[in-house]
Amino acid sequence: MFDFLRFKEVKEDDIDPMLEELRAELLESDVSYAVTEKILDDIKASIVGKKVKRGSDIEETVKETLKKSIYEVVGKGAEIDLIEAVRNGPKPYVIVFFGVNGVGKTTTIAKVAYAMKRAGLSPVIAAADTFRAAAQEQLEYHCQKLEVPLIKGKYGSDPASVAYSAISHAKKIGAHVVLVDTAGRMNTDADLMEELKRVVRISKPNLRILVLDALAGNDALNQAKAFDENVGFDVVILTKVDADSKGGTILSVTKELGKPIIMLGVGQDYDSLIKFEPQWFVDRIFS
């Protein structure tokens, strides 16, 4: 009884100015326009009409709701651990890495190989980027340093057969995991997408990782959509998060495609690959 004395209902007008501010903040963090609108709609739906104690801080309520809803969106990948997946998966566990040119695929593979070795797992790397001569040399350099077997193909040879040879080699030597590096390709290049499909069809990966670059901003979402439609992928590793970027891509990709971000590249060293923590992201967006 007399609830209205103690509670008041949140009206759209109460929160509109705050949502405006949030809209600007999300867009500035490179969250796509469509995703920003969806998130704001979710918040409106969960707050407008809600009864809050008179005298309580609506702004604080909105902020908490927003944080919670963002946490829920990006929290999906948090439980996926690459090392555990390999440890509990078939032997060898096959992972194919792909993405647009220069996003950091090869560097990320070296980092993953390093992490696997540290965890007591033995990797084999497949240099299925037979497109650029320098690509093989780049992997040779890493593999020598990390003492990881590398399977290469001739320049211009069939990348799918390089991946296949690497898997056969891994079986022969009892390696735990095969990391397949592929050539960078624009999401608009139909021929190269076909080639990638073939690599995937033949290597039958246990995990398909799309590598995205945090600096690509909104284009990263377009890339993710195109790779998803053409090839399909399971998870994302986002690189170059150490550069000046709030990583809004994380929110766009998880909200629009429902694909988890599992790891972040935060530098050029082998140990600059960290597990993605949803709370870290929420704090970063609101910092």
Residues near ligand GTP (CB under 6 A) are: 101-107, 129, 135, 184, 239-240, 242-243, 265-268, 272
Residues in the chain: 287
- Helix, strand or coil for residue 95? strand
Backbone angles phi, psi at 250, to 5 degrees: -60, -45
Shortest distance in whole angstroms from residue 99 CB to ligand GTP: 6
Between 47 and 135, name the residue whose CB sits nearer to ligand GTP. 135
286 C-beta neighbours (distance < 10 Å), count? 14
What is the helix (H) or strand (E) element at residue 136, kind and residue range?
Answer: helix 133-146
Q: Please tell me whether the peptide bond between 278 and the residue prior to it is cis, using omega within 30 degrees of 0.
A: no
Residue 195 contact, options ligand GTP, Mg ion, none, Cβ 5-8 Å cut-off depending on partner type:
none
Shortest distance in whole angstroms from residue 275 CB to ligand GTP: 14
Between 46 and 272, name the residue whose CB sits nearer to ligand GTP. 272
Minimal CB distance to ligand GTP: which residue? 184
Residue 243 contact, options Mg ion, ligand GTP, none, Cβ 5-8 Å cut-off depending on partner type:
ligand GTP
Shortest distance in whole angstroms from residue 35 CB to ligand GTP: 23
Shortest distance in whole angstroms from residue 99 CB to Mg ion: 9
Instruction: State the Cα–Cα distance between residues 107 and 86, nearest whole angstrom.
Output: 20
55 C-beta neighbours (distance < 10 Å), count? 7
The whole-angstrom distance between residue 223's C-alpha and the CA centroid of its chain comes to 12
Residue 166 contact, options Mg ion, ligand GTP, none, Cβ 5-8 Å cut-off depending on partner type:
none
Between 270 and 281, name the residue whose CB sits nearer to Mg ion. 270
What does the block give as tokens for 269? 């060293």
Between 135 and 282, name the residue whose CB sits nearer to ligand GTP. 135
Between 61 and 107, name the residue whose CB sits nearer to ligand GTP. 107
Shortest distance in whole angstroms from residue 22 CB to ligand GTP: 28
Beta strands 261-265; 273-275: pairing state: antiparallel
What does the block give as tokens for 144? 């020598």
| Residues near Mg ion (CB under 5 A) | 105-106
